[in-house]
Amino acid sequence: MDTKETFFNYITEGHKTKGDFIPVGAAMLNGETVTGAHVKIPLKTLNRHGLIAGATGTGKTKSLQVLAENLSEKGIPVLLMDIKGDLSGIAQASAGHPKIDERHEKIGLPFEAKAFPVEVLTLSEQDGVRLRATISEFGPVLLSRILDLTETQSGIVSVIFQYCDDNKLPLLDLKDFKKILQYATQEGKAEFTEAYGRISTASTGAILRKIIELEQQGADLFFGETSFEVDDLLRVDENGRGYINIIRLTDIQDRPKLFSTFMLSLLAEIYSTFPEQGDSDRPELVMFIDEAHLIFNQASKALLNQIESIVKLIRSKGVGLYFVTQNPTDVPEEVLGQLGLKIQHALRAFTAKDRKAIKLTAQNYPESDYYDTTEVLTSLGIGEALVSALDEKGRPTPLAATMMRAPMSRMDVLTDTELSNLIANSKLAKKYNKAIDRESAYEMLNEKIKKAEADEAKEKAKQEQEALKKAEAKRKSRTTSTRRRSTRMNPVVKVLTSATFIRSVFGILTKVMKNR
């Protein structure tokens, strides 16, 4: 038995599966494709998370596209984070190409061009189904972690939420939260102090600055109603194919805090909403996060801890989470250790640092008698990758340098007209694209403040009126007393006055008589 035949048996035996699976390509030996030596990923282990990595232009996006298409074909819904804006073409069938036919002939798989059911979602003002969530849905703990608050500041956020619950004030958007922060240390200071204790203006000021920072990245568009229901990610079309939900994020690369906020809220909502699946034969939902470094590079320690916790727990809900990035080192080790499937495209060694990173990357893969992993990582061509998956018992499958199959859908973006038609026919767009700004904490507190100011002004006017009345009564009292003194003169005074008058008269008469 020659080496090629031995290798064929090694791969096919190692990738044997009793349940359903996705064939991603055929294994390669010494740079040549071994036709029929199919590399398979069991559906049963797709909720064990994964990584698609490789240098720019090596085929990461196409591998993502292949997985998404095949999952949809199996009736499993998919959520894609489209950072580069090159995934919308999944909604249209591939135009085909002789090189695609040649590739599939080598692999030993038929090629069929297909379009897939797609929903286009958006976090910003781009066209698509609007994704929103309310402040209340985040809750005090998650909001504090997103804002990277101190323990004291987090305590104030908890008090704010408790006050709103106690007083039935809906916290829907950022203006609601900013208003209640202001109210707690100004107009409502006495009320808060009496019920919850003193709240520091320095702490509320620091929280407000964090809110403004998030607001400047466009979070005011994300927070509000109508809240997106994560169950709408689980739709299948009339043919039983899972919807591929594509979130357009081409304008969010310079707003990583908003991206992290959205991702964390989405994962938390899925974890709290989806039922436990146990040892299911297939995932309920598979999520792909393109350009994953955007989540991790600027995330706080608290945020990273939250992501790590959710990654560990969310697979019990039947959700697979796949990170797509240039280098595995972009993903924290705690998260990387949770990833069962790894599709590693070529890495380039231009510097000593690159070579060191490649050696570290090679250590993440099972040892193989057929490959020098470090060497293979730098010699893979476009559309080729090292694949390491888990079998149905959770064991690593044989490491295989793989000629990846081509996407069945278009490997390009939709035209503006195609995109507009897709959104116009979306049932979800009709459900979520109408913004609602109902009465909430902002309006209610403003009304409360106005009423308090009106009551205060009314009380002040009443006090001023009463003071005027008292002053008028006092003035009248003094006038009456004066009149009484003038009309009722003391008899002694009268006698004295009369005697003085008589003496004056006698004095005048005496002078007259002398002059005569």
| pLDDT for the residue 267 | 85
More confident of the two residues 474 and 496: 474
- CB–CB of 299/260 below 8 Å? yes
Nearest 5°: the CA angle 325, 294, 123 is 115
Task: Give the pLDDT band (50/70/90) at residue 493.
Answer: very low
| pLDDT for the residue 509 | 57
Q: Which residues touch 271 (CB under 8 Å, ≥6 apart)?
A: 310, 313, 314, 317
| pLDDT for the residue 291 | 82
| pLDDT for the residue 513 | 61
Beta strands in 47-147 (DSSP E): 50-53, 78-82, 118-122, 129-130
| CA separation, residue 273 to residues 117, 151, 230, 267, 463 (Å) | 24, 28, 8, 10, 57
Question: 112 by DSSP, 3-state: which?
Answer: coil
| pLDDT for the residue 67 | 97
Summarised one tens digit per residue, pLDDT across range 275-303 is 998 778 899 999 998 888 877 776 667 66
Query: Could you count the other beta carbons within 10 Å of the beta carbon of residue 29?
Result: 19
Average pLDDT of 15-21?
A: 91
| pLDDT for the residue 496 | 47
Helix (H) / strand (E) element for 34: namely strand 32-42
Of 281-290, 301-310, 489-498, the range with the lowest mean pLDDT is: 489-498
| pLDDT for the residue 507 | 65
- Per-residue tokens: 304: 């990273």
Task: Give the pLDDT band (50/70/90) at residue 436.
Answer: confident
Summarised one tens digit per residue, pLDDT across range 218-262 is 888 888 888 999 999 999 999 999 999 999 888 776 777 777 778
| pLDDT for the residue 491 | 53
Task: Give the pLDDT band (50/70/90) at residue 432.
Answer: very high
- CB–CB of 379/346 below 8 Å? yes
Question: 323 by DSSP, 3-state: which?
Answer: strand
Of 48-52, 133-137, 495-499, the range with the lowest mean pLDDT is: 495-499
| pLDDT for the residue 486 | 56
pLDDT value at 502 more than 80: no
- Per-residue tokens: 510: 């005496």
Q: 233-247, 268-282, 323-337, 357-371: which has the highest mean pLDDT?
A: 233-247
What is the spatial order of strands in the sheet that 32-42 belongs to?
32-42, 21-29, 400-404, 384-388, 341-344, 50-53, 319-325, 285-289, 78-82, 244-248, 118-122, 129-130
Average pLDDT of 2-16?
A: 90
Task: Give the pLDDT band (50/70/90) at residue 467.
Answer: confident
At 462, the amino acid letter reads K
More confident of the two residues 107 and 468: 107
Average pLDDT of 319-339?
A: 89
Summarised one tens digit per residue, pLDDT across range 144-196 is 888 889 999 999 999 999 999 998 888 999 999 999 998 888 888 888 888 88
- Residue 150: half-sphere exposure toward Cβ, Cα within 13 Å: 8
Burial of 257: CB neighbours in 10 Å, binned 0-12, 13-18, 19+: buried
| pLDDT for the residue 495 | 46
pLDDT value at 72 more than 70: yes
pLDDT value at 4 more than 80: yes
What is the dihedral sign for C-alpha 92, 97, 100, 105?
A: positive
Average pLDDT, the chain: 86
Question: 274 by DSSP, 3-state: which?
Answer: coil
Average pLDDT of 301-314?
A: 80
Q: 29-38, 260-269, 288-297, 484-493: which has the highest mean pLDDT?
A: 29-38
% the chain with pLDDT above 90: 47
Helix (H) / strand (E) element for 320: namely strand 319-325
- Residue 278: half-sphere exposure toward Cβ, Cα within 13 Å: 0
What's the CATH architecture for 3-129+242-252+281-427? 3-Layer(aba) Sandwich (3.40)
pLDDT value at 481 more than 60: yes
User: Could you tell me where the DSSP H helices lie in 46-97?
Assistant: 60-73
Distance (Å, whole) CA 248 – CA 447: 39
| pLDDT for the residue 239 | 94
